[in-house]
Structure 1
């Protein structure tokens, strides 16, 4: 069974919310950050900050959660983000730092 992730991205002014789901979180977030899909919502509105995510044992559960979150109102989404990340830090920055450290260790 493939793990799945449901996540919320925002822009630098924290005015736009994007909800997505994927089976490969790191790859998908990097795609958003690099803007490789020029006509996508996240590219158009510069949603590159990962402010919330959930991990699931099954990717289909992640897609169900995505639908559930998209159906909710903005206040619920903001409350959900604030429950784990009240400063709205970019949670993916830790991955980038960890990956750079691992690459440095592997080169030595």
Structure 2
């Protein structure tokens, strides 16, 4: 059974990069080495792997990657810190009055 990983990197500028791969070790090497010169992380090295989760279905992994990419920084940090109970509240919209 093939395993797919959704992962979050913390970049040197304190931003987060979310990706999906079937070979986490190889993909991390590519991020660290700046393999793709026009990629988001190439100019933001060094990067640090701070979160990953495993999936056996690539479609679900891609869906989760896209979902996380839309999240706010605070919501990503709650996920990274295993503060799952905070996730629903961080999803709510706050409208100015």
- The answer to whether the Cα contact below 8 Å between 1:16 and 1:47 also exists between their aligned partners in 2 is no
Query: How far does residue 56 in structure 1 lie from its aligned partner after superposition?
Result: 0.4
- Provide structure 2 residue ranges, at least 5 long, that are not aligned to the other structure: 84-97
Shift of 1:47: 5.1
1:67 aligns with 2:66: yes
What residue in structure 2 maps to residue 9 of structure 1?
A: 9
Q: CA RMSD in A?
A: 1.7
Q: Name the CA shift for 1:47/1:65 in 2 (closer, same or farther; >3 Å).
A: farther
Q: Distance in 2 between matches of 1:21 and 1:68?
A: 12
| Residue 32 of structure 2 is aligned to residue 33 of structure 1 | yes
Structure 1 outlier segments of 4+, above 6 Å: none
C-alpha offsets along residues 44-91 of structure 1, whole Å, 9 cap, x if unaligned? 22252000000001122211110110111111101111128xxxxxxx
Give the TM-score of the pair, scaled to structure 1. Answer: 0.69
Query: What are structure 1's unaligned runs of at least 5 residues?
Result: 85-108
Task: Identify, as 1 or 2, the structure richer in helix.
Answer: 1
- TM-score under structure 2 normalisation? 0.77
Shift of residue 39 of structure 1? 1.3
SS of 2:59's partner is helix
2:82 corresponds to = 83
